[in-house]
Amino acid sequence: MLDLVITGGAVVTMDPARRVLRGGAIGVDGGRIVAVEADAAALPPARRTIDARGKIVMPGLVDSHGHAGHALTRGLGEGLDGDGWGDLVGRIYFHASDEAFWRAESDLAALERLRFGVTTSLSMPGSSPRVDDPRYALAALSGYRRLGLRHVVAAGPPNGPWPWRSTDQHADPPRERALDLDGALRVTGEIIEAVAALGDPKLRAYVGPSAICPEVGPGDTEPTEFARRQIAGVKRLVERHGTGLHAHAYRGMVRLAHAVDRELLGPHACLAHCAGIEADEVAILAKTGTAASHGPLTHAYAAARFPVVEALEAGVNVVVSTDGAAPDRSFDLLSQARIAAQLQRAYFGDTALLPAGRLLAMVTIDAARALALADQVGSLEVGKQADVVLVDARQAHLAPSILAPLRLVFAAAGQDVDTVVVAGEVLMEGRQVIGVDEAAILAAAEDALRATLGRAGVADPEALHPDTWHGVRYGPPRA
């Protein structure tokens, strides 16, 4: 007798053959998928059956890049330019936050992702990783552990200037401390070891420097000595702990990082944004098998385009991510795939670009591959972890459920997710999250944010920019 059978839905497997099984069935036992059949009659009986008639059944979504902290800072600083917003959240994350802030944010972010069908995700703790103490990364992981989701925390050397400064709010009185590169690498190793010691197979830590090659300016042709030191230290950590590598990358960084160490990149690595990278850098990604995580709504894309189509045509594993939820987004990964396609179609004036099935892969199996997890999740195949999402197609914008892949990509949203299963455990059914006090999570999030903003000196977090209601833009035109 199986533990669970999901039967009757339109099953979008995302397996190598990209089968779509109408009225199909999935058998689950011991947390893994043991059968994917066109007919439930082919399966043995189960202790529990989920009737998926009228629903689209798909693999759990994989959000390959984000930032812890963003679920609480979403909306803050609207109207500020990038530097102003960065200064604001930097003050919050690195000088005003405590463990309670990171725990409350983790609970809230995990709850949002669960409700949107994101069963696997990655986040850096902060806009640039906070690595002065392992406690913050562990607190940022805690909500995913409590809610039963898969999560990767990516931690490593933050952006400069160096020495990197933060404030320990747990000291009495709170005190500022400075961190050098060696200290950042040491704490990164401590975070990796601490996550492994939790003994939860759904949780991982990857080496995650903020930049794959720091201190790169326009036109730079040689990496700085600091960049060389960071790259060497990052690579040592990856090799010592056998982890994945995850970092931001912008124009010139891929080229210079590859020049420093040609074995730094590879299938174990995923680079976020890649905004502004040039043709030779696309070729490096393709040659090394390095993935690129594209956030279509991130401000990085507004500043400089990532050549999504060109990279895909070159053979790069390009995937779609949310980049977190601040300042102006959500964790609705399904909608991000649609937006990614629309951006490319508008740019090239070509509505044939990015077919629906390819877009689905970019938030499921290809995204799992980008995080070196494709042997476990990302598709509905025998032997894989039973991470399954049911989308309610009995709604005007999704019915009828024919052409399920197209409807998922071009019409569905996170709010349409009805049921979520992770490792065979039903975490949400009928939009009801099981065994979780959602009201308590929401209340704790508000309390933690208000306390943190008070320490950060944000007097009125609900104050709106004066141009909010009648302006064409926030503030005067920028040079």
For every residue of 6-74, DSSP letters joined together read EEEEEEE--STT--EEEEEEEEEETTEEEEEES-GGGSPPEEEEEE-TTEEEEEPEEE---EETHHHHT
Opening angle at CA 406, ends 403 and 409, nearest 5: 145
In this prediction, residue 462 carries a pLDDT of 86
Report CA-CA distances (Å) from 7 to 26, 52, 53, 231, 385.
6, 5, 7, 49, 17
**Distant-in-sequence, close-in-space partners of 227: CB < 8 Å, separation ≥ 6:** 213, 214, 215, 216, 256, 257, 260
The interaxial angle of helices 279-288 and 253-260, nearest 10 deg, is: 50
Mode of pairing for the β-strands spanning 150-155 and 118-125: parallel
| Segment 303-323 mean pLDDT | 97
pLDDT tens by residue, 139-162: 999 999 999 999 999 999 999 999
Confidence of residue 302 (pLDDT cuts 50, 70, 90): confident
In this prediction, residue 83 carries a pLDDT of 85
**How far apart are the C-alpha atoms of 90 and 129, rounded to whole Å?**
10
Mean pLDDT computed over 398-423: 91
**Architecture category of domain 64-370 in CATH:** Alpha-Beta Barrel (3.20)
Q: What is the pLDDT of residues 185-231, one digit of tens each?
A: 999 999 999 999 999 999 999 999 999 999 998 889 999 999 999 99
With a CB cutoff of 8 Å and minimum separation 6, the contacts of 230 are: 157, 181, 209, 213, 214
Domain residue spans of the chain: 2-59+379-431, 64-370
* 371 neighbors 270 (Cβ within 8 angstroms): yes
- Reported as a pLDDT band with limits 50, 70 and 90, residue 82 is confident
Q: From CA 75, how far away is CA 449, in angstroms rounded?
A: 12
Tokens of 327: 């300042």
Give the pLDDT confidence of 243-258 residue by residue, as tens digits.
999 999 999 999 999 9
pLDDT of residue 261: 98
pLDDT of residue 303: 84
Confidence of residue 460 (pLDDT cuts 50, 70, 90): confident
What is the Cα 449 distance to its own chain's centre? 22
pLDDT of residue 299: 83
Q: What is the pLDDT of residue 300?
A: 81
pTM for this model (two decimals): 0.97
What's residue 301's pLDDT?
81
- Per-residue pLDDT at 403: 78
Residue-wise pLDDT tens digits, 41-65: 899 999 999 999 999 999 999 999 9
CA dist., res. 111 & res. 406, Å (int): 27
User: Could you give the CA distance from residue 272 to residue 39 in angstroms, rounded to a whole number?
Assistant: 40
Please give the backbone phi and psi of residue 76, each rounded to the nearest 5 degrees, phi first. -70, 145
Q: Which of 92-106, 297-311, 346-360 has the lowest mean pLDDT?
A: 297-311
Q: Partners of 150 in the beta sheet?
A: 120
Distance between CA atoms of residues 214 and 158, nearest Å:
9
pLDDT-derived band at 27 (thresholds 50, 70, 90) equals very high
Average pLDDT of the chain?
96
Given a cut of 90, is residue 401 above it in pLDDT? no
Helices (H), 349-437: 356-361, 365-370, 404-410
In the prediction, which pLDDT does 363 show? 98
Is the pLDDT reported for residue 37 higher than 90? yes
For residue range 161-180, list pLDDT tens digits in order: 999 999 999 999 999 999 99
319-93-61 Cα angle (round to 5):
25
User: Environment class of residue 154 by beta-carbon count within 10 Å: exposed (0-12), middle (13-18) or buried (19+)?
Assistant: buried
Distance from C-alpha of 334 to C-alpha of 320, rounded to nearest angstrom: 9
Compute the average pLDDT of residues 274-280.
97
- Confidence band for 102, pLDDT divided at 50, 70 and 90: very high
Query: According to CATH, what is the number of the domain 2-59+379-431?
Result: 2.30.40.10
The residue among 381, 403, 357 whose CA lies nearest residue 13 is 381
Residue 128 is predicted with a pLDDT of 95
pLDDT of residue 287: 98
